[in-house]
């Protein structure tokens, strides 16, 4: 890994995405999925930073949200304008200190950033899966990550950390593999989506499926359903902001004009922002992956099977840091408090904080200072990782 002087001193520097393929029939069993179907072969795109220590007990697994990927820190080329999506928290001396911890992040299955998803070629047909790709769940994502963690030779993860859908994976790790997680950090997350959040996901999916270019999911190699995906992303971004953050960020200011246009071209800055977000998203994200991953979030509900959330957490053994953000109306603080309550019923040690923030759901990516202090303090409370 080459650290050139052009990167900030607290950056992990130049990084490369790696790939691990497993569950390759006929030599290996395909991964059994929660739906009853199975998937294989599976490729996971992943990145690592820092060094795995001799005891192999300093690994921190970072789990990404809906549109995230394995590139969580550092730069892929010296020309990269922006670092990985959580670079503020990961690097030498940062909250996830790569001088101490071996940080891993992989793209989820169902994704489109190097891991196997609906846009991947189905080896059985030689064609992209499209909608023949099996529906995957948060648990399936975690089971695939477990294979990667095994491959890396890590028996116990020092910590698992993630925000939003990443936080759901944290909860699933703590429930499914209790003996393999020491510290669990579910941030800005929920143990189940509210009907309101499912509703927004469904509007996003309907926008994609209503795009004539979507063609039942068989659009690979043709015109992509960019309109639908872009609208889905615009809806998403509304839910990631808050009333207050929209006031601060845009107000009612007009975009590049002093007067109303009396037409349907962009007037307001907020319109321009959403269009920009939608427009840039379609260049890096696959519409079918949006369908699959948003569905995985909707299905996530560990309490459903166990009878109650407290019963679902009964196997968990980790210590928890649960963080919510005051203006997050997508995964509101009350949902984090439900997690805390259920963990407490099981006598688990939990630190819970609601960080006062106007940034809405996006706060987990933006409130780096407050979050960083909590995360680094909490990580230091464990008995290894030195």
Cα 365 from Cα 376, distance rounded (Å):
16
Phi/psi for 223 (5° steps) reads -65, 130
Does 328 qualify as catalytic in the annotation?
Answer: yes
**Separation between Cα atoms, residue 268 and residue 250, nearest integer Å:** 8
Which residue of the set 57, 87, 361, 362 is catalytic? Answer: 361
Quick one: which of 355, 360, 362, 385 contacts other proteins (CB under 8 A)?
Answer: 355
CB closer to other proteins, 188 vs 208: 188
Question: Among 136, 321, 330, 365, which residue interacts with other proteins (rule: CB under 8 A)?
Answer: 321
H/E segment holding residue 163: strand 157-163
Contact string (CB under 8 A) for other proteins, positions 229-258, x = contact: ------------------------------
**Checking DSSP bridges between strand 121-122 and strand 127-128, what pairing results, if any?**
antiparallel
CA–CA separation, 176 vs 143, rounded Å?
9
> x/- contact string, 267-306, with other proteins (CB under 8 A)?
----------------------------------------
Quick one: angle between helices 195-209 and 287-299, nearest 10? Answer: 160
The correct pick among 203, 210, 356, 384 for binding other proteins (CB under 8 A) is 356
Contacts of 300 (CB under 8 A, 6+ apart): 137, 138, 168, 172, 191, 192, 193
Q: What is the dihedral of CA 372, 377, 379, 384, to 10 degrees?
A: 150
Q: How far is the CB of 382 from other proteins (least distance, A)?
A: 9
Catalytic residue among 328, 336, 358, 362: 328
**Nearer to other proteins by C-beta: 234 or 379?**
379
Nearer to other proteins, 284 or 373 (CB): 373
**Which CB, 231 or 318, lies closer to other proteins?**
318
Q: Is 353 in the site for other proteins (CB under 8 A)?
A: yes
361 is known as an active-site residue: yes
Is 70:123 a contact under the CB 8 Å cutoff? no
Dihedral sign computed on CA atoms, order 341, 346, 347, 348: negative
Stretch that binds other proteins, among 128-136, 228-236, 270-278, 354-362 (CB under 8 A): 354-362
The residue from 11, 115, 120, 164 that is catalytic is 164
Residue positions annotated with a catalytic role? 164, 328, 361
Interaction site with other proteins (CB under 8 A): 319, 321, 340-341, 344-345, 349-356, 370, 373-374, 376-378, 380-381
């Amino acid at each position: 890994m080459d650290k050139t002087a052009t990167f900030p001193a607290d950056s992990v520097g130049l990084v490369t995405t790696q790939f691990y393929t497993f569950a390759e029939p006929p030599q290996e069993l395909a991964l059994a999925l929660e739906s009853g179907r199975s998937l294989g072969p599976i490729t996971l795109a992943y990145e690592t930073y820092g060094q795995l220590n001799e005891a192999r007990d300093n690994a921190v697994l970072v789990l990404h949200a809906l549109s995230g990927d394995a590139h969580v820190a550092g730069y892929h080329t010296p020309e990269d304008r922006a670092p990985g999506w959580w670079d503020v928290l990961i690097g030498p001396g940062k909250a996830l200190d790569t001088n101490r911890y071996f940080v891993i992040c992989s793209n989820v299955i169902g994704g489109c950033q190097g891991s196997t998803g609906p846009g991947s070629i189905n080896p059985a047909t030689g064609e992209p899966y499209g909608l023949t790709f099996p529906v995957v769940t948060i648990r399936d994502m975690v089971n695939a990550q477990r294979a990667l963690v095994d491959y890396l030779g890590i028996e116990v993860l020092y910590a698992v950390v993630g925000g939003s859908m990443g936080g759901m994976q944290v909860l699933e790790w703590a429930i499914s593999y209790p003996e393999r997680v020491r510290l669990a950090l579910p941030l800005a997350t929920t143990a189940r989506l509210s009907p309101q959040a499912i509703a927004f996901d469904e509007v996003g999916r309907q926008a994609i499926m209503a795009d004539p270019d979507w063609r039942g999911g068989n659009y690979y190699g043709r015109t992509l359903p960019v309109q639908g995906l872009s609208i889905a992303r615009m809806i998403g971004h509304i839910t990631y902001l808050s009333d207050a953050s929209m006031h601060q960020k845009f107000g009612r200011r007009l975009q590049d004009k002093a007067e109303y246009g009396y037409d349907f071209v962009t007037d307001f800055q907020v319109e321009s922002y959403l269009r920009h977000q939608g427009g840039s998203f379609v260049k890096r994200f696959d519409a079918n992956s949006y369908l699959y991953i948003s569905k995985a979030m909707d299905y996530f509900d560990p309490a459903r099977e166990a009878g109650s959330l407290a019963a679902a957490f009964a196997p968990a053994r980790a210590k928890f840091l649960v963080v919510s953000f005051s203006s997050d109306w997508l995964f509101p603080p009350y949902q984090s408090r439900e997690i805390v309550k259920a963990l407490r019923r099981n006598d688990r040690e939990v630190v819970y904080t609601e960080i006062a923030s106007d940034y809405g759901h996006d706060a987990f990516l933006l409130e780096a200072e407050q979050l960083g202090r909590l995360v680094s303090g909490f990580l230091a409370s464990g008995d290894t990782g030195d």
